[in-house]
Amino acid sequence: MKILSFADLINICKEQNKTIWEIAEIEESALEEMNVDAVRLRVLENLIAMREAITNGLKSDEKSISNWCGDDCLKLSRGYKIRPAIFGSIFEKITKYAIATAEENLRMGRIVACPTAGSCGIVPSVIIAVAEERQIAEEEQINALLTSGVIGLMVSNKVQLAGAVAGCQAECGVASAMAAGALAQMLGGNVNEVLQAAALAMKNILGLTCDPVCGLVEVPCIKRNAFLAVHAVTAAELALCGVESKIPIDEVVDTLKITGQLMSPLLKETAKGGLAQTKTAIKLEKKLFKKNF
């Protein structure tokens, strides 16, 4: 099947009376020349890798080479024991899991890029935290992950998912859309609700710059994973209550691409603009390079 846009995906789902994840596993089965069970096993392996990244991230407080990051997840864990989060235990898990995964990435641990390494904590934290709290079966988690993959694939048909191309809207922003769609699927949403969740998440993060301090995937990248994971939950909640994006998702993707083209190169992973050029960031850069070279 030729699926190049979300409109194509919607039509195929209607014609075949299938969900997004069912179309995803059929397509992957044909592409990789393997049966559907083998496809689902591969997705499960990714899900397990995500769980392991969270587990390892939660246990470690090893700092990065810059010594700026690596212990924020530990701070959250300690802080929530003293003062539980206002939004409850699911919020606590999502924020901890998102940062734990992102910190595991900076330690060069094993993570699943979804869609990129810099945005690796968003999809796992949402799927796994909610599944744990709501006791959602592993099969449903696999379906959610398949759904998120299709959303990322559809966006990538039009724009490269890289901060160097379109800013962080194409990394953490798209990851948030993927997580929103995955969550809507996992909570029983239909095709329209799943894609409305993705559209709401994506359109409300348009213009997000990629401005890593010292060019490292640390500041502001790691904490951004937690913020955008919560952003995804908001989008899913809205969509499941019938709130819709007035702009169709394909047009949101087109706008993301255009916004990326209009964005200054200084704000696309070059570390020559934005937060990376604040007084504090410049001081940190001088200190880091002087120390290590």
Give yes or no for a contact between 208 and 169, defined as CB atoms under 8 angstroms apart: yes
Mean pLDDT in the chain?
96
SS3 of residue 75 by DSSP: helix
Looking at residue 65, its pLDDT comes to 83
Candidates 3.40.395, 1.10.3470, 1.10.10, 1.10.4100; correct CATH number of 6-292? 1.10.4100
Length of the chain: 293
Q: Residue for token digits 């094993």?
A: 110
The arithmetic mean of pLDDT across residues 182-196, rounded, is 98
Please name the residues in contact with 37: beta carbons below 8 A apart, sequence gap of 6 or more: none
Find the helix or strand (DSSP H, E) in which 286 lies.
helix 279-292
Confidence of residue 186 (pLDDT cuts 50, 70, 90): very high
Q: How far apart are CA 130 and CA 187, in angstroms?
A: 9
Looking at residue 251, its pLDDT comes to 98
Tokens found for residue 246? 């007035």
The arithmetic mean of pLDDT across residues 258-271, rounded, is 97
Nearest of 200, 195, 188 to residue 246 by alpha carbon:
200
Q: What is the pLDDT of residues 5-56, one digit of tens each?
A: 999 999 999 999 999 999 999 999 999 999 999 999 999 999 999 999 999 9
Q: What is the pLDDT of residues 239-257, one digit of tens each?
A: 999 999 999 999 999 999 9
Q: Is the pLDDT of residue 173 over 60?
A: yes
Give yes or no for a contact between 23 and 150, defined as CB atoms under 8 angstroms apart: yes
Indicate whether this model's pTM tops 0.85.
yes
Looking at residue 70, its pLDDT comes to 96
